[in-house]
Amino acid sequence: MKDTFKHKGLRQQLVNVLINKGINDDSVLKAIGKIPRHLFMDSGFLDHAYQDKAFPIGADQTISQPYTVAFQSELLNIKRGDKVLEIGTGSGYQTAVLCELGAKVYSIERQQELFKKTSKFLPKLGYRAKKLIFGDGYKGLPDEAPFDGVIVTAGAPFVPKPLLSQLKIGGRLVIPVGEDVQVMTLFIRKGQKEFEQEEFGEFRFVPLLEDKN
């Protein structure tokens, strides 16, 4: 688990790429500048770790593109101490970004293989989520609700109702919605039954799957 001077340099270049693509939240850029993304990837892809691209992480899943991670993190608008639920732990890279932003992170993953691997790996890097859960993200996490923020890191064919109902008033849900292509959508809870909704263009994610295998 090495993080060299060269990696740091490549990371700074990646931060510059994200700035050029329009990311301007300093705390998000700082997190991406700090987290050793190469350690979250299979060894075959190490050389590509600091390109702005998604890569396979096993179990037919991918580590999200850095731009997408930054964009979703920016939309969540996290303050230190916020309680945040992530759906789709995957490699844990987005989880690490949320930890760097000072969030208390709860993250759900439905693939056991990834859940086990990432549960071991994140603490080794010093990232301690409040809870990593093996389960179905469509249900959210009713025992720990309400949340200041909920982030979905897989393409959702529809917006799961529990994720909306588990938001605090003023809380934000960032979710890519659609089948083949997804529209990044932000919901802000304004009242018990009122939600403000805004759309932010198209992205491509692996699908949010319903049944466990």
Which of positions 103-132 make contact with ligand SAH (CB under 6 A)?
108-111, 114
* Angle in degrees, CA 106, 110, 116, rounded to 5: 75
Q: Which residues are catalytic?
A: 64
Helix (H, G, I), strand (E, B) or coil at 209: coil
Site stretch for ligand SAH (CB under 6 A), options 21-29, 91-99, 165-173, 181-189: 91-99
Site stretch for ligand SAH (CB under 6 A), options 22-30, 86-94, 123-131, 171-179: 86-94
Helix pair 112-124, 93-100: axis angle to 10 deg: 40
Q: Minimum CB separation from ligand SAH for residue 92, in Å?
A: 6
User: Is residue 23 at the binding interface for ligand SAH, with CB under 6 A as the rule?
Assistant: no
Question: What distance in Å separates the CA atoms of residue 12 and residue 106, rounded to the nearest whole number?
Answer: 28
As a residue count, the chain comes to: 213
Looking at residue 102, its amino acid is G
User: Is residue 91 at the binding interface for ligand SAH, with CB under 6 A as the rule?
Assistant: yes
In 3D, which of 66, 98, 92, 76 has the Cα closest to residue 185?
76
User: Is residue 185 at the binding interface for ligand SAH, with CB under 6 A as the rule?
Assistant: no
Residues lying near ligand SAH in the complex (CB under 6 A): 61-64, 87-88, 90-91, 93-94, 108-111, 114, 136-138, 153-154, 206, 208-209
